[in-house]
Amino acid sequence: MPTEAADRKTRALAWWPALCAAGIAMAVYASTMAPSLVWSHWGTDGGDLVTAAATGRVPHPPGFPVYLWLSRIALGVTSGDPARVLNFLSALMASGAAALTTATALRRGISTWGALATGLTLAFAPWLWSQAIITEVYASAAFFASLTLFLVEVAQDKGRVCWLLVGLCLGLAMSVHPTAALLGLAVVVGTGVAWGWFAVGIVLGLLPYGFLPVSGPWPQPWGDLRSFLGWVEFVSARMYWGNAFSLPAIYWPKRGLAWLVLVARQFTPFGLLLACLGLIQVWRRHRSRAFGLLGAFALAALYAIGYDSADSWVYLIGYLPVLALALGSGFRWLDTHRTPAYVGLLLPLALLVVNWQQMDLHSDREAVVWLADTLAQLPSDAVVVTNADQHTFALWYAVDATHTRADLTVVDRRLWGYLPYNEYLDRPGLSSPDSTQSNGALEFLVGGRPFCEIDVEGGVMCR
């Protein structure tokens, strides 16, 4: 019995680096977190996500169902500014990713200090940090990716049934964001996966997509999921297919170089070099596993580089834990060469010092100030036409999520003509818009209601 008690104490103490990583990360995130709705750090979609969670409808395709459930739970058990609540949810998920990556590093035989440095380096990588303090899906994607990689280590020790949990977590990661599918390469190559259990787990993890049609009320802005074809079009993000691999070939070399610089910034150039060195060590011991890790990150990078969008780098956030574990192997190499174990902590410390000012959003009120000023200018019961995502989603937040101005009807010019969106607008209090052109602007049959338009710069014009 004393031996069993000692073993339990040893196992409990083994978790302190993971808990420490989560605590430190959460403290930093809380200090730099956005106070409410923001547009910084490519957080424009936050207004749409908060509104979907608060109203029960679905956000833009493909719906991010697991994130949506987590958001609704967070809003249901807390009170206050909904955007602030979901900013905190992102911080919690990113802190969890740091803790799980630390735990995975420990299971892989990396020293206590090396594992802690691995988790903290992930936490303070600019990509993850930027998304951990705003309302977005990518911190949650990193959490489920980290949980999947941790469970792979458990499954290799505990047996075949544990692969059900691995598949389940990978499916849930894909239900946060479908680009997590490429993580499967890092999961299955060189790990002795039990394919049957793994496949069943993935199917279970993808089931949340099947429940999106019961997210009502209908009709909704982004699609009609009540028919099978409508559901397929929505969850496959048909609206955005034109962006995939559509970057003109002439821009690929320039963007590839830019991406290499961005990746180097995540762990600093020295950290990236150490991660490459760690990957070499993994290659020497487990060539197939190294191929899986490298292949998953490379394919995700290829997709993101070819995606014709300025913020496509966000698709790699879920793959940062893969790069972090390679870094952990680099820390283990330093340990074998008699480098003091705590030296690795200089890397996350450097990331904190270099990136704090750029990451800090605790006083960022640009979106909130714009929203307050705009609402003050809009007459009662107005129909408001918008021309940019940040303005549409911010107004949705005020109209539908917080009910600050429930009298307004917001019409996004770019979505006009999309049948589900037109059906959504055809509701009591607003006659069907007439899409005729006059002086370059859409004229609406609004039954005598005030008509306002917001230009791409955020200026308001009413008549």
Q: Which pLDDT tens digits describe the chain residue by residue (463 residues)?
A: 445 444 444 444 468 999 999 999 999 999 999 999 999 999 999 999 999 999 999 999 999 999 999 999 999 999 889 999 999 999 999 999 999 999 999 998 898 999 999 999 999 999 999 999 999 999 999 999 999 999 999 988 777 788 999 999 999 999 999 999 999 998 988 777 888 999 999 999 999 999 999 887 888 999 999 999 999 999 999 888 888 888 888 888 888 888 889 999 999 999 999 999 998 888 888 888 888 888 898 899 899 888 988 888 899 999 999 999 999 999 988 877 777 767 889 999 999 999 999 999 999 999 999 999 999 999 999 999 999 999 999 999 999 999 999 999 999 998 888 888 988 887 644 444 444 443 334 454 456 788 899 999 999 999 8
Q: Are residues 428 and 401 in the same domain?
A: yes
Count the domains in the chain: 2
**320 plus 403 within the same structural domain:** no
The whole-number pLDDT of residue 288 equals 85
Tallying the residues shown for the chain, one arrives at 463
In this structure, the answer to whether residues 104 and 148 fall within a common structural domain is yes
With beta carbons less than 8 A apart as the criterion, state whether 37 and 83 touch.
Answer: yes
Query: What domain range is 176 assigned to?
Result: 2-348
Same domain, 383 and 237: no
C-beta atoms surrounding 197 within 10 Å: 20
Closest by CA position to 31, among listed 312, 367, 288, 357: 357
Say what the alpha-carbon torsion angle 321, 323, 329, 334 is, to the nearest 10 degrees. -120
Same-domain status, 32 and 146: yes
Domain end: 315, 348, 381, which one? 348
Residue 344 and residue 373 share a domain = no
Domain-embedded: residue 319? yes
Tell me whether residue 360 is in a domain: no
Candidates 118, 120, 191; CA nearest to 154 is 191
- pLDDT number for residue 58: 95
Residues 235 and 318 grouped into a single domain: yes
Tell me, yes or no, whether 354 lies in a domain: no
CA-nearest of 20, 26, 93 to 345 is 20
d(Cα 317, Cα 128) in Å, to the nearest integer? 6
378 and 289 co-located in one domain: no
Q: β-pairing, 460-462 with 409-412? A: unpaired
pLDDT at 334: 84
| Of the residues 348, 376, 395, the one at which a domain ends | 348
334 shares its domain with 408: no
Residues 223, 107 within the same domain: yes
Which of 348, 376, 405 is the last residue in one of the domains? 348
* Coil/strand/helix, residue 81: coil
3-state secondary structure of 333: helix
Q: CB–CB of 226/213 below 8 Å?
A: yes
pLDDT of residue 447: 63
Q: What is the pLDDT of residue 446?
A: 58
Whether residue 151 is contained in a domain is answered as yes
User: 62 lies in a domain?
Assistant: yes
Per-residue pLDDT at 3: 53
What distance in Å separates the CA atoms of residue 452 and residue 463, rounded to the nearest whole number?
6
d(CA 31, CA 49): 23
The C-alpha angle with vertex 213 and arms to 222 and 389, in degrees rounded to 5, equals 20
Distance CA 57, CA 191 (A): 39
- CA dist., res. 437 & res. 450, Å (int): 18
Residue 181 domain flag: yes
**Core vs surface per residue 404-430: b (16+ CB within 10 A) or e:** ebeebbbbbeebeeeebbbebbeeeeb
Of the candidates 383, 379, 377, 378, the one whose C-alpha atom is nearest the C-alpha of residue 447 is 383
Note whether residue 233 is domain-resident.
yes
pTM score, whole prediction: 0.92
User: Is residue 433 in a domain?
Assistant: yes
Q: In this structure, are 403 and 328 located in the same domain?
A: no
Model pLDDT, residue 337: 75
- Asked whether residue 316 falls in the same domain as residue 410, the answer is no
